[in-house]
Amino acid sequence: MRIERIRAAVTWTWLERAERAIIAGASILVLPVSLLLFLQWPLRDWLQAYSREANDLAQILFAIYVSVAITAATRAHAHLAADGATQRLDSRTRRILTRFAAGAVLVPWSAFVLYAGSGSLVQSVGQLEGFPETFNPGYFLIRIALALLALLVLLRALRDMLAPTLSDE
């Protein structure tokens, strides 16, 4: 029994570290997104060139950033939540509600998004889909970011559902 607990602890530690690394890597994207959005007007007004390319690249980076930022906010308990009623509940009841909500809402939703979007994702990546307005390549990366968002939400929900608590140890 002790070996299973050690194995489970190592798995959770690995998942936590992987999640932390993904969040740290994506948090850097805020700077290039801001720079590209700032440069759009000077590029359009002064150079009369490359503003659309800057916009397309900013959209790709922003999509990746947001797909990871939602997981980061959930991890830090910094997202908007309708939890006014649960603040009065004890921590054990809140953990039970969190596990139930993860299983009843987040897992089915993220699984549905992955399933429903898989066909268009495969087609988009296969064609290296471009942006509809500019035909610049890279729109398929936005579709990949959507799949990344759903996958990270699914993994976070599974972690919330299955993570050992202090009473389990």
Encoded tokens for 81: 């939540």
Q: How many CA atoms lie within 13 A of 154 on its CB side?
A: 14
Q: What is the DSSP string of 81-126?
A: ---TTGGGS-HHHHHHHHHHHIIIIIHHHHHHHHHHHHHHHHHHHH
Mapped onto helix, strand or coil, the DSSP state of residue 58 is helix
Report yes or no on 88 lying in a domain: no
Report yes or no on 15 lying in a domain: yes
Report yes or no on 87 lying in a domain: no
Q: How far apart are CA 3 and CA 37, in angstroms?
A: 52
Domain that holds residue 69: 2-77+93-162
Q: How far apart are CA 160 and CA 51, in angstroms?
A: 42
User: Does the global pTM surpass 0.95?
Assistant: no
Report yes or no on 63 lying in a domain: yes
Report yes or no on 145 lying in a domain: yes
Report yes or no on 84 lying in a domain: no
Report yes or no on 31 lying in a domain: yes
Q: What is the chain's pLDDT, residue by residue, as a tens digit (169 residues)?
A: 566 666 666 666 777 788 888 888 888 888 988 998 888 888 888 888 888 888 889 999 999 999 999 888 887 777 666 666 677 888 888 888 888 888 899 999 999 999 999 999 999 999 999 998 888 889 999 999 999 999 999 988 888 887 766 444 3
Q: How far apart are CA 60 and CA 138, in angstroms?
A: 7
How many domains is the chain built from?
A: 1
Report yes or no on 85 lying in a domain: no
